[in-house]
Amino acid sequence: MEKYLYTALFAPLVSSLFVALFASRPKMLFTGIIASLLIAISMVSSFVLLIDVNTYGALHVNMMDWIVAGNLYIPFGFVVDEVSVIMMVTVTLVSTVVHIYSIGYMDHDKSFNRFFS
- Number of domains within the chain: 1
Asked if 88 and 94 touch (Cβ cutoff 8 Å), the reply is no
Percentage of the chain surpassing pLDDT 90? Answer: 71
Q: Return the pLDDT at 3.
A: 94
Say how far apart CA 92 and CA 12 lie, in whole Å.
9
- Whether the pLDDT of residue 11 is over 80: the answer is yes
Question: Which residue segment(s) compose the domain that 11 sits in?
Answer: 2-116
pLDDT category, 1, cuts 50, 70, 90?
A: confident
In b/e form, how buried is each residue of 30-68, taking b as 16+ CB within 10 angstroms?
A: ebbebbbbbbbbbbebbbbbbebbeeeeebeeeeeeeee
